[in-house]
Structures are given as structure tokens and as C-alpha cells.
Structure 1
Amino acid sequence: MRAIVSTARLWMREVLPQDAPVMFAMNNDPEVMRFTGDRPFPSLAAAETFIRAYPDYQLNGFGRWAVILKGEEVPIGWCGLKRHTDGMIDLGYRLVRPHWGNGYATEASHACLDWGFQRVDIHEVLGRTARENRASVRVLEKIGMRYWRSEPCEGIPDSLIYRIRRSDPR
């Protein structure tokens, strides 16, 4: 499969059913899931079913993409934009723990933002994180997002909401 987005060290493509083992393991790592508000997949089959039914690529032309190291084929996580039912678009990312701390989340997030602002009629993107998730706050700030407000969000009672607009300097 071809890359949708490519950076110096990464390439991204749609998440495929064969990625289910990585996504299942990642979503069942308590440390990875600690600040997400999401529930783990109950089984590998459930992860595969979720991937097969994921509607965002067809509905919006974008979604959460598999993040893969250049020269590799197996994802190290996912990153991408998501359009919610209220029209809001957020940027999300999640990586397997062995790849934390290498700047991959920042690199992938920056590339996804650029792609969204250049290829799709997107004017604003939000980033949401738990207040305690300092690493995620740093990613959002490094890609040019600025703190906007705090509110409960998808199982996280004290979420920080960051945002960036297409017209903002990056």
C-alpha cells in the first residue's frame, strides 16, 4: 500500500486488518491507555472487526492512519485527523511504548496537520489530552497548538483542549 503522508523517518497509510495484532497489543497496554479514556479491545478479533468497520476514510477522506518507520511495514501506532459528528476535527495519536520519546508523535502530528490544512477544507484542528499527560501536552505545543480551554471529554474529566487554525503561524 502506498503512503498517504511521508516524513523524514515515517510513512503513514490507512490502518488495515492485518494491523490488528499491533493495535490490539497497544490498546491493551495499561500505560499506553492510561490517559486516553478509551477501553481496550476485548479480543484480537474485536480489534480486526473495528478496523474493518472503520468508516472515516470513506466518509471524510481521512482518519487515523498507521504510523510506520521508513523501511518497515509494521505500524508503531497511529496518528491522524478525525471529524466528529458535530463537525469538530481533532488530531489524535497513539504509539506503542518502545517508540515513545523519539519524536515520532510530534513528527507524525505535524505532517497530519500540514496534510489537513493543505489538502482538505479544514480551518481549525483541536488536540485534546488529559491534564496529567505532560508528554502529549508537549507534542501539541511543539506542533503549534495553543491551549484554548478545559472541559470533560470522552471519559477524561479534566481534558485540556488545544487548537490551531490554518491561518496560525507554524
Structure 2
Amino acid sequence: MTTDTDDMVQRDYKAKPATSRHGTHALITVAYDVVSVPEEEPVVLVLKAFEPEKPGRWGLPGGSWGRYPEETPFDTVRRLVEARLGIVAPISPVVLGVDWTPQARFAPGMNYIFDGGVLPAASAEQIRPVPGGGYADVRILPPSRFSEIDIDHAAAARISLALAQRRSRAGVLMTMRGELISIPASRA
């Protein structure tokens, strides 16, 4: 009889890594002059072009990490936001949340929510999905208006918790081998 423990000992994880998914997302908000309640910061949301007719396809910009072995999750989210939205957002290596997602639509995995910074209103109004970039639409909404789009409960909760973390100035710095990940001067 083989047990789960036996399988773990016998499995060569380098030859056959465990199947999982790692998402990297950016919480990007917009500085409109009329926002007076911190909980109502307008959030940049994207509709994923992959099966957009399926429910719950709205969420934070970003995507899956792991395509390029040398790329950190922080590098991935910056690259994906620029490639898919055509903007250079002030994303920092501060992780506002790490969300475990059990297997459902996709393989089980972790979602890293990075602080995507605050965009000036004029810049935010220019955000559009880059053709072929993976997004079908972009909206900028405060959490109280999330009901206007088809966002799933988990994504909405993830965003609310990340906003609360940012307001409390709490977060975890992303490191690599114990060293802080630096932001190139051209992107700071």
C-alpha cells in the first residue's frame, strides 16, 4: 500500500514539479479629487479576454508567474501590466496579500497581490487593453460599485483586504534569496 508520504519521498520534484499556479496581480488605484472615503478608492479592474462570457472574469491586472525562470513574481506583474495595459504603473515590491486558491477552474495556487500604486486621474483615463494582450475591457470602480460588473466574491474580497492592508501601511516586502528586490531607477 502506497501512502501520500511514500509518494512524496519517491517523487523527483525537479523532474516532475507539482502542478500549481502562481498569480501576480497589482492593486492599482486612481487619485480622483472627489474621493473622500479611503474605502472608496477607485480600483483598476480588467476583464480577462480568455472566456470573457464565463462569470467572474473581472479582477486585478496581472497574470500567471513562471513563464520565465529568471523572472521574479514582482518582475512578472510589472511586465504584464505594461504589456497588457500599455502603462508603467508605480508597482512596488510590497506584497499586500497572498491568497491561496484551491483547485476549482484552475490548478491550485497562490495569488500575490502587489501594491500597484496610485495613478493620477489623467493617466488613468488613458488606460486601454492592448490588442492581443489578454484583456477585453478595463474599468475603474470603487468597491461599492463592484456589483456593476461580474466579479466573483473571492476577487472582490481579495481586493478589499489588499486595500485595507495598504491603508494600514502593512505589507510584506518581496525578497529574493534574502535580498530586497530593487526597483530600477528608470521605473521608480
Q: TM-score range by the shorter chain?
A: under 0.3
TM-score where L is the length of structure 2: 0.24
If asked which structure has higher relative contact order (CA below 8 Å, sep 6+), I would say 2
TM-score where L is the length of structure 1: 0.25
